[in-house]
Chains A and B, each alone.
Chain A
Amino acid sequence: MMQGVKSDLFVFAGLLMLLIMTVVGSYWPLGEGLLIWSLAISSLKAYLIIRFYMNFRAGDRATKLFPYLAGVGLFILLLLVSTDFLTR
């Protein structure tokens, strides 16, 4: 179990580092790029949480399908809204 806790601790340290990078990034003159920077780091944090804390790889095939389905659902939502928004 100690090995597992150690890896959880490393992931936590990584998440804190990414949090610091998010805040430091907001001081850089990135303009609109700041949003992309922030969302990219948030996505990386979400990946670490899903992969290591939610034990995504330990689930069976049906269970593994649902995080992907969530991604596909959000992509369709984004596609439909942006199509509507851009063609108005």
Chain B
Amino acid sequence: MKTSAEREGQEPDIPNDSNINLGIWIFLLTEAMLFGALILCYSVMRILHPAAFNTASHLLDWKAGTLNTAILLFSSFCMAVAVRASGKGKSKGTSVLLLVSASLGILFLAVKGMEYHSEWLKYLFPNDEFTFAGPDSAFVKLFFNAYFILTGLHAIHLTFGILWLSGLGIASWVSPQFHRRYPNAIDCAGLYWHFVDIVWVFLFPLLYLVGGS
């Protein structure tokens, strides 16, 4: 059913810019509470079992974690430039930068997938086959439970971000009018992408460097 504006040949009603921005910030606030609560649970477990968590942390590949952090930071830079290009109405440039950011997100997931595969082969996935020969095996398993929950949830968020950025990148490439019709679409995607980056910035040292390199 057409709105009155569409019937009269005008642009359909688009919500006010500041309302959209406010909406995404409220959403990010709830996300911060979600990840904050999980990180807090992890911290309590770490305080209770420091030796086991330090041992378990050494079993992770910190070089892959560092590479992934650099990839996400670079994708954030590309996203920031995409938002600037969008503000200037450069639809092709914006599109390319959005797709580069999404590709870097895919690269991050590929590295993470290789890490998961390596941990699976070492029987470190916390299921019935989990094997750790050293002391505090139960608490090392607890660490890996926390590790897979935190990084898995982050990967799900990143996957959603990749889909969002890819969709915007394609829309921006196909329709040069996209920025004029939806001026805040890329800003909101950018805020979400940067938030996902911030979450990883905290997860990286907490999980990978907790016991020292």
Contacts and interface: CB of A to CB of B under 8 A. Distances in A.
Interface of A: 1, 4-5, 8-9, 11-12, 15-16, 19, 22-23, 25-27, 29-30, 32, 34-35, 38-39, 41-42, 45-46, 49-50, 52-55, 59-60, 62-63, 66-67, 69-70, 73-74, 77-78, 81, 85
A12 B73 contact: yes
Given A16-B73, A42-B202, A63-B18, A34 B25 contact: no
A49 B40 contact: no
B70 A52 contact: no
Interface in B150-169: none
Interface string B169-208: 0000000000000000000001100110110011011100
A62 B22 contact: yes
A19 B213 contact: no
B213 A54 contact: no
B212 A85 contact: no
9 closest A-B pairs by beta carbon, nearest first, are A38-B205, A66-B25, A12-B77, A26-B209, A26-B213, A53-B80, A70-B32, A74-B36, A70-B29
Nearest to B65: A23
B24 to A, nearest CB: 9
A contacts with B: majority SS: helix
Contact of A1 (B33, B88, B205): B88
A22 B209 CA distance: 8
Contacts of A27: 212-213
Count class of interface residues, chain B: 35 or more
B84 A59 contact: no
A26 B206 contact: no
Nearest to A29: B212
29 contacts: A1-B84, A1-B88, A4-B84, A9-B77, A11-B80, A19-B69, A26-B209, A26-B212, A29-B212, A30-B212, A32-B50, A38-B206, A38-B210, A39-B205, A39-B206, A41-B205, A42-B201, A42-B202, A49-B197, A53-B76, A54-B190, A54-B191, A60-B18, A66-B22, A66-B29, A73-B29, A74-B33, A78-B40, A81-B40
A45 B21 CA distance: 22
A62 B18 contact: yes
